[in-house]
């Protein structure tokens, strides 16, 4: 495999960097070359966060060209939309429906755009969209903070990742604190099953 690109996008505090590290570690476990870009400091304080995970023998840079995303893993609808320039008609978008209102909107007493509006805009780039009720599933798993792992489970179920499910679970075991492991594995499974049973509601 020459190059496989995932972009993870959302808001500071959603566990995006850990999710990216889990995916990168899973790839490394299979002996693949990998790059994971992170955002630290200022950009994390409730601001937009974008991380790229790139897997493959040709991969050197931490970021990739417009339109070259294989998967866009969106933790928040508006932020998913903000990274849509990396997508093409070949890209699969896996997006959480959990909205986090930017303070700018609240201050101007403006409504958050409707999910339908956001999905329509994404559709101008790609029609392969899977909406995941990540927050609901994370709560079901026992901790709202496991939304990131729900999305990883959803990604695994699409079978787009060039690594085995077992490698992702192994990476999860390595990177998640032991006392939270059961909750996280449950979150992974819930995300996974959700996509297996998924019926598009577009």
Partner 1 sequence: MPDSRLLLQDAPNKRALLLGNEAIARGILEAGISVVTTYPGTPASEIADSISEIAAEAGVYMEYSINEMVAVEVAAATANCGVRSLSAMKHVGLNVAADALVTLAYMGVKGGCVIVTADDPECYSSQNEQDNRFYALLANLPCLEPSNAQEAKDMTVSAVEISEKLELPVLLRTMTRVSHTRGPVIYGKLTKPNLKGEFVRDIKRMNLVPANSRPMHTVLLKKAEKAKELSETLQYNTIIRKSKSGKLGVISASAAFNYAIEAIDALDLDASVLKLGMTHPLPEKLIGAFLKKHKKIVVVEELEPYLEMQVKAIAKDYAPNVKIYGKMSTPYFPRDGELSTRTVVVGLAKITRRKLPINFEEIDKKYAEVLKDLPRRPPILCAGCPHRASFYVIKKATDGKAVYPNDIGCYALGFAPPLSIGDGFLCMGSSVSMAQGINKVTGKDTIGIIGDSTFFHAAIPGLINAVYNNHKITLAVLDNQTTAMTGHQPHPGTGVTGMGVPTEKVLIEKVAEGCGVKYVRVVNPFKVKEATAVLKEALQHSGPSVVVFRSPCALMVVRDRRRKGAKIMVCKITEECTNCMACIKLLGCPALVLVDGKAGINEALCIGCGLCASVCPYQAIKCEEIG
* Residues within the interface to partner 1 (CB under 8 A): 11-12, 20-21, 24-25, 28, 31, 33-48, 58, 60-68, 78-79, 81-82, 84-85, 101-107, 109-111, 121, 124-125, 144, 175, 177
Long-range pairs of 84-90 with CB within 8 A, sequence gap ≥ 24? 84/121, 84/122, 84/125, 85/125, 86/5, 86/7, 87/122, 87/125, 87/126, 88/125, 88/126, 89/125, 89/126, 89/127, 90/126
Residue nearer to partner 1 on the CB measure, 84 or 187: 84
Residue nearer to partner 1 on the CB measure, 64 or 194: 64
Residue nearer to partner 1 on the CB measure, 28 or 158: 28
Residue nearer to partner 1 on the CB measure, 99 or 160: 99
Q: Provide the minimum distance between the beta carbon of 197 and partner 1 in the complex, in angstroms, as a whole number.
A: 26
Q: Provide the minimum distance between the beta carbon of 46 and partner 1 in the complex, in angstroms, as a whole number.
A: 5
Q: Provide the minimum distance between the beta carbon of 196 and partner 1 in the complex, in angstroms, as a whole number.
A: 27
Q: Provide the minimum distance between the beta carbon of 128 and partner 1 in the complex, in angstroms, as a whole number.
A: 16
Burial string for 133-148 (b: 16+ CB within 10 Å, else e) reads bbbbbbbebeeebbbb
Cα 156–Cα 159–Cα 160 angle in degrees, nearest 5: 95
Query: Which residues on neighbouring strands pair with residue 6, listed in sequence order?
Result: 53, 71
């Amino acid at each position: 495999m020459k190059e496989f690109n995932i972009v993870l996008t959302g808001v500071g505090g959603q566990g995006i960097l850990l999710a990216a590290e889990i995916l990168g570690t899973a790839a490394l476990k299979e002996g693949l070359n990998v790059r994971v870009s992170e955002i630290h400091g200022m950009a994390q304080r409730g601001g937009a966060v974008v991380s790229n995970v790139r897997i493959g023998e040709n991969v050197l840079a931490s970021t990739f060209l417009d339109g070259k995303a294989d998967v866009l893993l969106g933790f928040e609808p508006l932020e998913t939309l903000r990274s849509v320039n990396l997508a093409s008609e070949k890209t699969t978008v896996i997006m959480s429906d959990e909205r986090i209102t930017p303070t700018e909107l609240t201050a101007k007493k403006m409504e958050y755009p409707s999910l339908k509006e956001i999905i329509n805009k994404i559709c101008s780039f790609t029609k392969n969209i899977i909406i995941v009720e990540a927050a609901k599933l994370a709560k079901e798993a026992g901790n709202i903070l496991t939304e990131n792992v729900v999305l990883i489970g959803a990604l695994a179920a699409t079978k787009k990742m060039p690594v085995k499910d077992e490698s992702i679970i192994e990476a999860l075991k390595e990177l998640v604190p032991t006392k939270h492991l059961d909750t996280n594995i449950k979150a992974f499974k819930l995300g996974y099953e959700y996509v297996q049973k998924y019926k598009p509601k577009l």
